[in-house]
Amino acid sequence: MEFNDKQLTILTAAEKLFSTMGFDGTSVRDIATEAGVNVAMISYYFGSKEKLMEAIFERNTYKMRLKMETMLQNDKMTNHEKVNILIEDYVEKFLSKPQFHKLMLREQLDDKPGGVTGMINELKMRNYGQIRKLIHEGQKNGEFRKNIDVTLMMATMVGTVSQMIISERFYRAANNLEELPQEEFNTYMRKKLNNHLKNLFKLILTNEAK
């Protein structure tokens, strides 16, 4: 997905406002003011607030979805190696794009049919389809055990990382990390989350854990 500088400015402004004020609570005029553009420019580039939200989703998920599709076709990697890469990608994306994931969480809490929630569910279904295919391939060749609830497994990963994003202040306090600079904290959490989730998924998928 390619966007010009002006489009990226608008998308960044909209993502910030949607994550703090909600989709319904943010007007196109609010976005224009935040981005320093006129309202007509948003209409010209995106057509509507809904289309702007779709563009935010595509911008944040396209590369990861493409990487997943490519990885699924790689027969030189074990399925367990692919799962570990999946974990690393999810952790990296959540930590590098906390605002986008706060937006996702906020909109899903409303749980309204259609609209933004519908977009999110459609995105999740696409991701789920790819991950389910990966797990099934591992089951077919004996790498993974049978009777795995893929939906619950993914909820465990997303929920764990999401909780760390929204409760960073608590985690810092509980582990005496209040003075750790943000960049160092992110490096620390990246390692902790990857190790935790890889061991947890090994247990879920194979009944073996370190």
In 10 A of CB 42, how many CB atoms? 24
Distance from C-alpha of 8 to C-alpha of 26, rounded to nearest angstrom = 18
pLDDT on residue 127: 83
- In b/e form, how buried is each residue of 161-183, taking b as 16+ CB within 10 angstroms? bbebbeebeeeeeeeeeeeeeee
CATH number of 53-206: 1.10.357.10
Is residue 44 predicted with pLDDT exceeding 70? yes
Q: Taking the model in full, what pTM does it have?
A: 0.79
Distance from C-alpha of 96 to C-alpha of 161, rounded to nearest angstrom = 12
Q: State which amino acid sits at residue 40.
A: A
What's the pLDDT tens digit per position in 138-162? 999 999 999 899 999 999 998 999 8
**What is the mean predicted confidence (pLDDT) over 85-103?**
86
Which of 43-52, 104-113, 188-197: highest mean pLDDT? 188-197
In 10 A of CB 140, how many CB atoms? 10
Domain residue limits, the chain? 53-206
CA neighbor of 194 nearest in space, from 118, 59, 93: 93
- Tokens (6 digits) for 199: 């061991």
Contact in structure between 82 and 68 (CB atoms under 8 Å)? no
**Strand, coil or helix: 57:** helix
Contact in structure between 150 and 131 (CB atoms under 8 Å)? yes
